[in-house]
Amino acid sequence: MSCRARTGKRRRVVVAAAGAALATVLVSSGCSRTGALSGDVSVSTPSGEVTRGARMSVYLIPPSVAFEREWAEMIAGFRQEVAPAAEAQKAAEHQAEEARLKWDRAVAARGKDGTRRGQWTLSLRNTTAAGSQGLWRNVRATEGVAFQARKRVWEIVRKHEGQADALLTKHATERVQTDETGHYVIVKVPTGKAYLYARLPEKKEDFVWFVPIEIQAGTQRADLARDNQRNWPLVP
């Protein structure tokens, strides 16, 4: 083989190798496309007042096989535990309501006799007349049972919410903090499906977001507001 032929062959090999390397880079860059998420965390009250989620954490969780399995197991455990407690709460509240209705009927019936409602209420609470103290004691007793039943459900919800929070933070691949206005930014997020998780505790109500989202190449906005919060399975 001549020197020129050998040189041409080496050039063709180099060109082919370079083409293969370029194709690999292009495929890799296509598979590793990323996007950016930004948005505001805020909730408005019926009166129009706006509460912004300042200095709070926002998590991004990809739907891995391990996460989906552990999440399903956690939800199943919650439902199994909370279902009988919720039924007990419902029954207890019904009994308390029935006891209160009997009390109200007794007060109304006594009022027809010319006795003022306030005087009759006090007399029913303090008198030793047959049945009067029993009515009031039944009201107090059933209300106490209903309170304990509601407390039990609340305790179960809180326990499993703690487990859910630990699970979500464990599987989160991104965690960012909002600024003082409630704005967040997450960059270099792989494209595909994911969940946004955030929790904003308030005095009267906790706002929880567990929002499925499709990450796209480039930038996109995902606000967390009242209308998309509480996509949350831990509700009795």
Tell me the average confidence (pLDDT) per consecutive run of 10 residues in the chain, 236 residues long: 48 41 38 86 86 95 95 96 97 95 81 52 50 82 96 96 95 97 96 95 85 94 89 86
Phi-psi region of 2 (alpha: psi -120 to 50; beta: other; left: phi over 0): beta
pTM given for the model: 0.73
Buried b (16+ CB within 10 A) or exposed e, 147-181: eebbebbeebbeebbeebeebbeebbebebebeee
Is the domain covering 33-62+173-236 a CATH 2.60.40.10 domain? yes
DSSP string of 41-59, one letter each residue: BEEE-TTS-EEE-TT-EEE
Residue 15 confidence (pLDDT): 36
pLDDT digits (tens, 9 = 90+) for 99-109: 999 888 887 77
Long-range pairs for 120-128 at CB < 8 Å and ≥24 separation?
none
pLDDT digits (tens, 9 = 90+) for 220-229: 999 999 888 8
DSSP secondary-structure letter at 226? Answer: G
**Residue 135 in tokens:** 């009515």
